[in-house]
């Protein structure tokens, strides 16, 4: 049994090293396998499986070498340790990392109802530019006046409608601070 635990430990270490060195390549090659398990059994992630193999081998080696237990109790204790540490690995590392994945991507349609600020004055029958908070930052977007009224730079606006990539905005009565400070004094580029 000592050689089985040694093989499992060595295999786990080798897979961990390969994942560390070639993680992106292996991720693309095994992406179908990863998505196969992640929907129905979210705890069967590759990092959990590789960690489990390594833990099973390592605890088996230690228990075989440093205790006088028979093969079956050593295997059962190793299996129990593997389950406990794999569960801990999932809840303390994998799941928080998966939940913390954020994206700065956004859809322009997510901006409807958002409050922004006019950067480039919007003429009554033309286009200007507004600054809005979106995703993880801010975005500049082309805007037109929804009410066909001129809107001065620095004015707070609300996005009423979005058509053909253009935000149609209306003045908003909110009087707070600018996203970028006082922009009325800035010179256009």
Task: Give the pLDDT of residue 134.
Answer: 81
pLDDT given at position 182: 43
**pLDDT tens across 49-77, in order?**
889 999 999 999 999 999 999 999 999 99
Residues 24, 83: Cα–Cα separation, whole Å: 27
Cβ neighbours for 53, distance < 8 A, ≥ 6 positions apart? 8, 11, 12, 15
Axis-axis angle for helices 46-66, 71-89 (nearest 10): 150
Predicted confidence band of residue 183 (pLDDT cuts 50, 70, 90):
very low
Q: Tokens for 105, please give them.
A: 């991507």
Domains of the chain: 2-99 (no CATH), 108-171 (2.40.50.140)
pTM: 0.51
The pLDDT of residue 9: 94
Note the pLDDT of residue 189.
39
């Amino acid at each position: 049994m000592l050689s089985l635990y040694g093989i499992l430990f060595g295999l786990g270490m080798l897979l961990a090293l390969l994942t560390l060195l070639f993680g992106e390549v292996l991720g693309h090659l095994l992406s179908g396998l990863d998505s196969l398990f992640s929907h129905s059994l979210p705890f069967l992630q590759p990092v959990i499986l590789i960690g489990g193999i390594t833990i099973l081998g390592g605890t088996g080696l230690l228990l075989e070498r440093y205790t006088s237990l028979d093969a079956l109790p050593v295997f059962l204790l190793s299996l129990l340790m593997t389950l406990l540490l794999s569960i801990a690995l999932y809840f303390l590392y994998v799941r928080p990392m998966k939940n913390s994945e954020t994206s700065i991507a956004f859809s322009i349609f997510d901006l409807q109802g958002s409050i922004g600020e006019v950067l480039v004055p919007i003429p009554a029958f033309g286009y200007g530019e507004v600054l809005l908070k979106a995703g993880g930052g801010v975005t500049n977007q082309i805007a037109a006046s929804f009410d066909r009224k001129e809107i001065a730079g620095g004015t707070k606006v609300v996005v009423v409608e979005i058509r053909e990539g253009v935000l149609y905005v209306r003045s908003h009565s909110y009087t707070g601070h600018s996203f970028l400070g006082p922009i009325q004094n800035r010179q256009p580029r």
